[in-house]
Structure 1
């Protein structure tokens, strides 16, 4: 009987661990839902089975570190130690080359979980969410290490460019439908016709309100980036949209209450702000060959959530 009890306990522990890891995927879009996590994992795997494997392993690593580290059980089970690890694993495996990148990606996933815990401690006193800040900073440091350490091999897709040779190109037709789906795909660095459908479905499965917010955020991004004269290739590729989607969801619904009477207006303003922030960061990072990642989303969201401490109606 003792042996059977131990087996039942092990099965229960494994199931809990698996569900927590899947929620690590869904927490990227503010959702605590294992089914949504499965749909997101499918969306990633459709684009590349290798990305699907590394993202799942990264979720396992982040969740495992939170668990053995003694983090609050509810935080671990809700996936809060997995989402930064998932994004870090994906980014490192995409932006580095060579066989060593897989090991670096998993090591990055582990450090991302530790960094997440650190940020939780520092930001709890000012009551701000950590969002994807650990993933951003850690990924930038790993990619910059490639200039000084031989084992890190930067991908050819990240090429440092001189600002003096940069020219804005806003020619070409706009495929609005492609831009709409690419906007959400870029949250996970994806580019496949079906991936966007799975990602929007993952959000709607958990909450129609969040799903509607994702759609609105995507539309706002398309209109504002086009109205401001953004490069059509970047608009279609979703590079102006993914930060906008996350920001509108965060400011207008996820981190708002009924006391924030103008939360929808704040959400729209914060979303619009991500467009020039994205342009600014891409310009600033151009000489280093670094991707913008989700920094515009983090800064715009922190700005408006911080403002609410003084102006609660927003």
Structure 2
């Protein structure tokens, strides 16, 4: 009896780690452990939130009777991970940990709902559940005293906006921070571990991440973006996810998958700038919506033009 329970628990841990790895579109428990370690060395509290969030999402999927294949792939964990981490960072107060874990649970239900709504399209839901849930919960802070938004997320008036293109050029920081910002981090040792986790899952994953990140850096720089944003990785992380989705994970029989992925990565840059501008009066971050929109465009277009 004990051995049966132990095997089941081990299975849950493995699936939980896969849920963490799925944030970067990987189904690999070892990569998930590396990613968790990278988060934890930057912030042990964020590491705990990431693990518990993935565990909560996984358990809700199991208890709810979701498809075993989806659960075992970690597909009920990654949106919970991002929602839990985002809200633990973007809220203040002692109750933010409880709210973050509650959001991780809700993210599992939103994930299931989105899977149902998009089933007929055969287009992956990606991180859309986490984005919508996080935006909605952050906006509730203006109506409830028990929820307090971080002072770093301040609404700004577009009428007073000026573009600041001053700053130091540091391409190395841009490459490192791009992958780190997927998990809201700008800590170089963590970024190195993230790259190792990708290469562990497959050399193409690691190489494509570098190519997508560099493509985004050059695009943002060429368009005259703010240096501080470019080299903080805020134009890179969506590009990395987009090229992984379009060129590697959902490539299908595409002949020009890598080229399409590079274009998708570059497209995330103006989309990021646009969404960031739209959200400035609300004080909300763009999160991974640029990645979702860019990837959806090319994955949907591939239904009509399968070679792209």
Tell me if the contact between 2:211 and 2:262 (Cα under 8 Å) persists in the aligned partners: no
Partner residue in 1 for 2:120: 125
Partner residue in 1 for 2:278: 284
Alignment of 1:1-314 (within 5 A): 6-257=1-252, 259-314=253-308
State the alpha-carbon separation in 2 of the partners of residues 204 and 98 from structure 1: 38
Runs of at least 4 residues of structure 1 off by over 3 A? Answer: none
Specify the SS of the correspondent of 2:168: coil
Tell me if the contact between 1:46 and 1:192 (Cα under 8 Å) persists in the aligned partners: no
Deviations 1:35-70 (A, max 9, x none): 101110111111111101111110110011001000
Specify the SS of the correspondent of 2:303: coil
Specify the SS of the correspondent of 1:309: helix
Deviations 1:233-273 (A, max 9, x none): 0001100000000001111121112x311222211211111
Deviations 1:113-163 (A, max 9, x none): 111111111111010000000000000001000000111100011011101
Partner residue in 2 for 1:3: none
The CA deviation at 1:302 is 0.4
Q: Which runs of 5+ in 2 are unaligned?
A: none
TM-score by length of 1: 0.97
State the alpha-carbon separation in 1 of the partners of residues 201 and 261 from structure 2: 20
State the alpha-carbon separation in 1 of the partners of residues 41 and 174 from structure 2: 19
Tell me if the contact between 1:159 and 1:289 (Cα under 8 Å) persists in the aligned partners: yes
State the alpha-carbon separation in 1 of the partners of residues 138 and 25 from structure 2: 26
- What do you get for the CA RMSD once the two structures are aligned? 0.7
State the alpha-carbon separation in 2 of the partners of residues 265 and 194 from structure 1: 30
Tell me if the contact between 2:88 and 2:97 (Cα under 8 Å) persists in the aligned partners: yes
The CA deviation at 1:201 is 0.5
State the alpha-carbon separation in 2 of the partners of residues 308 and 192 from structure 1: 36
